[in-house]
Amino acid sequence: MLRLVAERNADRALSRLTREPFDAVALDLPPRQALELASRVRSAHPGIVVILLVPSGDAELKREAIRAGADAVVTGARYTPARLSLLETTLETLRLAALNRRLCTEAWKTAGSLAEAFRESQALRARDARARASSRPPVDR
């Protein structure tokens, strides 16, 4: 479920982000102010999801938003059920993408550990085979 918390001042919003844990920030400001604040939020809190809420937006605004540090731009009339639903869907999509990146990173780390364990196992088997071939008992591992 989405919980909305509002701040009317950019500096107070940044201060609140420092004091309280948030998964995301939705910036409902005029486009230029939103772009500037998106950049400030991204600099101060690189792990937080930043979404710009704008009444309408062209491709150039969306490109500028991404350059400023926004993860997404949601357009449409203010606070309609459809817009809030789109915002919730956008947040869930971004959350799942972040989870997928984290799981892929962990999988690669695990794969590396498994590959190393396999190489060690192969080396021990080769050592034991050489020891058997020379009729000496293998040394304890």
Q: Parse the chain into domains and list their residue ranges.
A: 10-99
Class of domain 10-99: alpha beta
Q: By percentage, how much of the chain surpasses pLDDT 90?
A: 8
Look at residue 139 and tell me whether its pLDDT is greater than 80. no
Residue 13: band (very low, low, confident or very high) from pLDDT cuts 50, 70, 90: confident
Mind listing the pLDDT tens digit for each residue in 77-111? 676 777 778 778 888 888 788 788 888 888 888 87
pTM over 0.75, yes/no? no
* Residue 69 CA: distances (Å) to CA of 57, 74, 121, 125: 16, 14, 46, 52
Q: By percentage, how much of the chain surpasses pLDDT 70?
A: 90
> Is 23 within 8 Å of 9 (Cβ atoms)?
no
**Cα–Cα distance for residue pair 132/29, rounded to 1 Å:** 76
